Structure 1
Amino acid sequence: MSVLRPMNKLPGLNKATILLVGTEDALLQQLADAMLQEDCASNLQVHIAKFLPLPPNGSHPRIDLIVFLINLHSKYSFQTVEESLCHVDARFFLGKLCFLTTGAGRESRCSVHRSTVTKLAQTYRSPLLFCDLEVGRFRASMAQRLVRMLQICAGHVRGVSALNLLPLLRSSESPAPEEEDL
């Protein structure tokens, strides 16, 4: 399933397209909706897919940022992300890809350990973000953060590139326990 939704149709705005990939349809849709509610100087588009590669039918937009959602309560979620990674162009690993995990706050119910996801992010040298997407205020905060990252990755923030994001987001890989859901 994939959905392409423009935020606004103002002429002259630069497009910025994010691809959210994961098996958690409801959480991805809620995150997409939260992102589309954010103020954005770009023509924001959100594309949702359960896995990669995208179906060959039709043309696909230029993707500026890929976010892989991993639910720590689902081994299937993690496995799907792992399998999808082999279909990602190497250029995305230069700051235009990140991993987003949900469910870290309820560690006793996790099927996938945080260290496993951390190793995956380190292997691909990509940022790892933690957020409990089921909580509205955390989801809104993450949506705001992803919109800002997307604008940078799309080249719409003067003087900052996707490569500049990598060192800034490295600290997100090991959040303090009380910060893991922010």
Structure 2
Amino acid sequence: MLKEDCSSELKIHVAKSLPLPSNVNRPRIDLIVFVINLHSKYSLQNVEESLRHVDAPFFLGKVIFLVTGAARDTHCSVHRSTAEKLAHTYRSPLLSCDLETEPFRAAAAQRLVRLLQVCAGHVPGLSALSLLSLLRGAESSPPEDL
């Protein structure tokens, strides 16, 4: 993501889980990306536990779930539908990416930087909430058994 062309200063904080330490002086948080590795049940469990520490206003367009490992479906410990239900429950977009392949990794980075620019208010006429509405319109209808 740091290699992408961005009109504003881009700062990324990587954390294994939430909450973040309170004694750290950090900039405003514009976007939270929860990464779920479908090859690790621990990854899903860690995301589920971390979600409890996110303030409700962030779920108005500033939380995104990123699923990795879907390319090798036979090795998955977590089904993609589980991640889809989690994203639906929190009314947040779900992106899928193969991080092991450079072109896919670069495409995901471009997309995340663009989403971050919107969430930070750097795209005139588009807010995180309106972007969420646009992304929801592109999604298929949610499973009925939720």
> Is the TM-score greater than 0.5?
yes
* Counterpart residue number, 2:2: 36
Identity %: 71
Look up the match of 2:62.
96
Q: Does 1:110 align with 2:76?
A: yes
RMSD: 1.3
Partner of 2:144: none
Give the aligned partner of residue 120 of structure 1.
86
**Other-structure match for 2:100:** 134
Instruction: Say if 2:118 is the partner of 1:149.
Output: no
How high is the TM-score relative to the length of structure 2? 0.92
Q: CA separation in 1, counterparts of 2:33 and 2:10? A: 15
| Shift of residue 105, structure 1, vs aligned partner | 1.1
Q: Which amino acid aligns with 1:75?
A: K
- Is 1:86 aligned with 2:43? no
For 1:61-109, what per-residue CA distance to the aligned partner results, in whole angstroms no more than 9, with x for missing partners? 2100000000000000000000000000111000001000001111111
> Counterpart of 2:32 in structure 1: which amino acid?
I
Tell me, in whole angstroms, the C-alpha distance in 2 between the residues paired with 1:172 and 1:84: 25
Q: Counterpart of 1:37 in structure 2: which amino acid?
A: K
Structure 2 unaligned regions, length at least 5: 142-146
Shift of 1:123: 0.3
Q: CA deviation at 1:59?
A: 1.7
C-alpha deviation, 1:154, in angstroms:
0.3
